[in-house]
Amino acid sequence: MAKAEIIVDKGERKSLVAHELIKLGVRVRFERLPVADYIMGKTAVERKTASDFISSIINKRLFRQLEEIKQFEKALLIIEGDLYETGFNENAIRGMLLSIMLDYNIPVIFTADYDETAAFLASIVKRDGKKKNEIGLRAKKRVHSLSEQQQMIIEGLPSVGPNIAKALLRKFKTIKKLVNANEEELLEVEKIGKKKAKIIKNILEEIYRPH
């Protein structure tokens, strides 16, 4: 019978997690994975350090990654380190974790360090690693529709999440009209207060000054 293995994205090749998995006797195969960091059978795992988790919330990358790993029968998110030591708003952290588990239906595993992460992954390999891994190589980056791409652009604005981005686009119809809108027009959109309207206008109108 073939030995259970884990497929590891090449981007994780230099990580201490991958080295620890090898030390634990896990058969590791490095591939350029379009989705997920680790694949074991029908299980996909996205791994984030605490700081990377916070930055992926800020730049909205996490939402895309969560959608992508849902292509698999089973999906997990591993967060390595203490989120509450990052200095990020604790209510925002709790809200995001609840969204991941309840809205995306993706379980979250918290680990202290790379050793514990590797131990969890090794345990998953023993459960699912002997199942066929082909789905991992067939999984694809999600192709976004035009409306989704427009929404992604608006979500790049400070303090603008998916719901507000949709509301802005429904109101102004095009990104060009949104850019040309004044603060009073922005305030007509629900949940856009004076402070947020001013921030949006400053971002859109200020001259770019590279450091």
Q: Look at residue 11 and tell me whether its pLDDT is greater than 50.
A: yes
Out of 111, 138, 165, pick the residue that ends a domain. 138
Identify which has the larger pLDDT, 47 or 137.
Answer: 47
Residue 111, domain CATH = 3.40.50.10130
Q: How far, in Å, are 173, 192, 204 from residue 182 at the CA level?
A: 15, 12, 11
Q: Quick: pLDDT tens for 79-89.
A: 999 999 999 98
39 and 64, same domain (yes or no): yes
**Residue 42, token pair as written in the block:** 């029908």
Residues with Cβ within 8 Å of residue 102, at least 6 apart in sequence:
none
Q: How far apart (Å, rounded) are the C-alpha atoms in residues 140 and 137?
A: 8
What percent of the chain shows pLDDT beyond 90? 45
Report pLDDT for 130: 56
Mean pLDDT confidence for 159-173: 86
- Asked if residue 119 and residue 193 are part of one domain, the reply reads no
Provide the pLDDT confidence category of residue 1 given band limits of 50, 70 and 90.
Answer: very low
Residue 94, CA distances (Å) to 45, 83, 103, 182, 202 in order:
21, 10, 13, 34, 29
Given 138, 167, 186, the domain boundary residue is 138
Domains in the chain, number: 2
What CATH number is given to the structural domain containing 151?
1.10.150.20
pLDDT above 50: residue 63: yes
